[in-house]
Chains A and B, each alone.
Chain A
């Protein structure tokens, strides 16, 4: 990074809560419905309607608070934030200003260097999402879809403690993982379940006062977040180095042009005239409620990672990979338990399974091979029925649907590993016989050629020979 400037970044992350209905109405929150088919009278702000609070937002907000070690606001109050915009039907948003439900907290993020850094959370509060504006295809008009209006959001505000785009992304990813683990959100960023606003400012090293910050809103991918912040930093440096001043403003990231530009409307520097929501009463959260949530909290990513290291002897890196999601962790554990060989299971999940998923661009829940099935394949490697190489063929066959069962496929294709010395010996002898030159070279010191012989035997047996057996036999015979 630029040594002449220090960067300060704070993130506001809007997380859609995974509830069936909106925060203030009984309309559905499912994604992708036809426009305005999930916008009821309350969401449309019809005259005479009133909000009714969804109970489910509280367990989720409290779970988040517990997950970041935050204080919980025992009396939860809503406020009105007043401004005009077509995606905000009431002309005000019901949010929490003075009494957010989550106060304080922190997360420890992993930097590229391997070190961890603590990022503090200022607060997190409940509020309602706005609708969507569609600007194309309407002959000079904008089309408003209010399906999303009223979806519950938890807005998580960090302290301005991140110093680079990389740190900001690491933090955002950490929050994403946490809320997904907790079941607080489905974490589906392409559907807008998690959106980031990045507050960026720069200053000279040694100066205590922060520079003027800009806010880049509604970034919905980690890649865009990184690009947007990098661009903003670069832009601000340019401005200041050429003697200008950074203007405090709200900006948007344009992915096509890979730049940020100022927003020309909406909430730029307006007076929101907050006041307590008179249509809603205070919600009282008691210790018993919090305790119940505490007891039903799922294992958190860090906890699972540490447990995998201890319980299964995995390396830190492997444990991290296998705990990127709770689902993946569960999948691995099933494979490990079924096969009784955690190390092997870890390799298979981490390398083979993930390669397949990434290659086909599908999520774990769409994997055609279940954890039990993969666990069984590993079992068959473990008990020497098949070699690792053959196992990959089996895995491929199950994945594509060519095979329905591991044992059936092994039998049908005759893939059983050959481990019988009486079968292997003649083949080894034959290979040694045919390759006298290499034998000479091996015996005169080129011990690496062992692999050559083993490879030839494997080729001869169509990969079915037990590699360890072959290795041993070849070595014995060559060392005679």
Chain B
């Protein structure tokens, strides 16, 4: 069962010649096409290009050393521009958009030899927590197809969980890697803001967006992150710091690691199963020698409010370029310029996207800027300061990723606020720009639950190390949904 193997194991198998990269890729393509694996995880499957890339990997491997991910089949969230290939961001607005260039993330993974199987489904323009907001239809959770996989990187999380790829890329603005990772029982990491280049990554909220891998394990995440991370002059917000060898430090003992539990998280609306999972995870870390203590992040309760000012504000401007003039959807027979703009945008952008644009335009408008946008940016600094204060006494923070497991499709469609509160634990680290990851840590009635680790700036190695050690003595991350095997 190659698809049950991790990236790390697949590398070994390819290196020892157990099977070829082409065989491996065809195996995944067959799985994706199989009727028993229909979760609507993929928008585009790039079968021919994938086989070609796999063949190239085999040819190179025959001649000598290959890239660190050579022949490994991965999927890209359809928010990353892929040259010559449709890039839709889950929207009708870009349904006809063939990207004229590659995102840096795509380039780097391709240079490392990874084989792209296709582009995964997502909430439109990354706005959503359930992948119910896609023009291409909702994605189902492979653990229970009456439930959501989470969002906005729902397609990627599902693809990894259902073993329809060995790893996938996602993006996280308010929790969009971590929350679907938790709902689907996979590992997902959002690194420090600026660790990975945003060049070619369709923008939602510029100061919050960050790319990251979704994988079966922390070890695999380290392998992907090593390739994805690094300085890129094309992204002015990218950090120019050497990328550590994340794999190298995975095996370090975490005895003495100081883990902080955020008091406020345990006061907020976490369901009892999630609370239990978190407590169990805490015990596991204690067994590994970690020292647990209490910390307080008093301003974290304002994170959701601040986020719902800043993200819409930035997105309202970022999405102004979608106007039917130079690319993308154009309405039929526009009567005049205003008609062109209004109808193209209104016909092609989904409801959630339009609402966020309206909220964003409002909070920036004359008379409201000070009270809303500026205020939110001040609160953001308070939230950052809270974290920095906490990190004086602990090394990482631990807590639940989501308030509960995957909810039913359609359950929260009419309850906007409840949907927004899905991100209650994840949003603060986006506002502060801190690295955070979710790892599977339990099961409740057949649904995965995840816990979240948050680190200080550029401490991805420490997070991956802690997660890996946890995964050495637990098996949650090895579990995969029962349906869909061939």
Binding site for B on A (CB under 8 A): 41, 44-53, 80, 82, 84, 86, 89-92, 144, 265, 271, 273-275, 278-281
Which residues on the A side are within 8 Å of B94 (C-beta)? 47
Interface string of B200-214 (1 = CB under 8 A from A): 111101110000000
Whose C-beta in chain A lies nearest to the C-beta of B328? A47
Is the CB–CB distance between A281 and B101 below 8 Å?
no
- In whole Å, how far is B247's beta carbon from the nearest beta carbon of chain A? 29
Is the CB–CB distance between B313 and A48 below 8 Å?
no
Is the CB–CB distance between B323 and A279 below 8 Å?
no
Which residues on the A side are within 8 Å of B325 (C-beta)? 86, 89, 144
B327 within 8 A of A: yes
Is the CB–CB distance between B323 and A84 below 8 Å?
yes
Is the CB–CB distance between A44 and B326 below 8 Å?
yes
Is the CB–CB distance between B323 and A91 below 8 Å?
yes
- In whole Å, how far is A142's beta carbon from the nearest beta carbon of chain B? 8
Which residues on the B side are within 8 Å of A90 (C-beta)? 317, 320-321
B245 within 8 A of A: no
Interface string of B345-382 (1 = CB under 8 A from A): 00000000000000001001110010001000000000
Is the CB–CB distance between A275 and B313 below 8 Å?
yes
Whose C-beta in chain A lies nearest to the C-beta of B201? A48
| Cα–Cα, bound, A45→B327 (Å) | 10
Whose C-beta in chain B lies nearest to the C-beta of A146? B326
| Cα–Cα, bound, A84→B319 (Å) | 11
Is the CB–CB distance between B100 and A52 below 8 Å?
no
Sorting the interface of chain B by its residue count into under 10, 10 to 19, 20 to 34 or 35 or more gives 35 or more
B236 within 8 A of A: yes
B451 within 8 A of A: no
26 A-B pairs within 8 Å (CB atoms) are namely A41-B101, A46-B81, A47-B89, A48-B198, A48-B203, A50-B198, A51-B236, A52-B233, A52-B236, A84-B323, A86-B323, A86-B325, A86-B337, A89-B325, A90-B317, A90-B320, A91-B320, A92-B320, A265-B337, A273-B365, A274-B364, A275-B317, A275-B369, A275-B373, A278-B207, A279-B237
Is the CB–CB distance between A46 and B100 below 8 Å?
yes
B287 within 8 A of A: no
Whose C-beta in chain A lies nearest to the C-beta of B314? A278
Whose C-beta in chain A lies nearest to the C-beta of B325? A86
| Cα–Cα, bound, A92→B87 (Å) | 23
Which residues on the A side are within 8 Å of B200 (C-beta)? 48-49
Q: Chain A CB within 10 Å — which of B103, B202, B325, B366 has the most?
A: B325
Which residues on the A side are within 8 Å of B103 (C-beta)? 48
- In whole Å, how far is A45's beta carbon from the nearest beta carbon of chain B? 4
Q: Chain B CB within 10 Å — which of A47, A52, A86, A89 has the most?
A: A47
| Cα–Cα, bound, A274→B316 (Å) | 12
| Cα–Cα, bound, A279→B103 (Å) | 16
Is the CB–CB distance between B317 and A80 below 8 Å?
yes
| Cα–Cα, bound, A281→B366 (Å) | 24
Tell which of A41, A46, A91 touches B317, judged by Cβ atoms closer than 8 Å. Answer: A91
Which residues on the B side are within 8 Å of A52 (C-beta)? 233-234, 236
| Cα–Cα, bound, A48→B97 (Å) | 12
Which residues on the A side are within 8 Å of B341 (C-beta)? 84
Tell which of A45, A144, A275 touches B321, judged by Cβ atoms closer than 8 Å. Answer: A45
Task: List 5 A-B pairs, minimum CB-CB distance, nearest first.
Answer: A91-B320, A273-B364, A278-B206, A278-B207, A45-B321
Q: Chain B CB within 10 Å — which of A41, A51, A91 has the most?
A: A91
Chain B contacts with A in 95-137, Cβ cutoff 8 A: 97, 99-101, 103
| Cα–Cα, bound, A274→B236 (Å) | 20
Whose C-beta in chain B lies nearest to the C-beta of A36? B326
- In whole Å, how far is B115's beta carbon from the nearest beta carbon of chain A? 22
Is the CB–CB distance between A82 and B235 below 8 Å?
no
- In whole Å, how far is A265's beta carbon from the nearest beta carbon of chain B? 8
Whose C-beta in chain A lies nearest to the C-beta of B320? A91
Is the CB–CB distance between A50 and B326 below 8 Å?
no
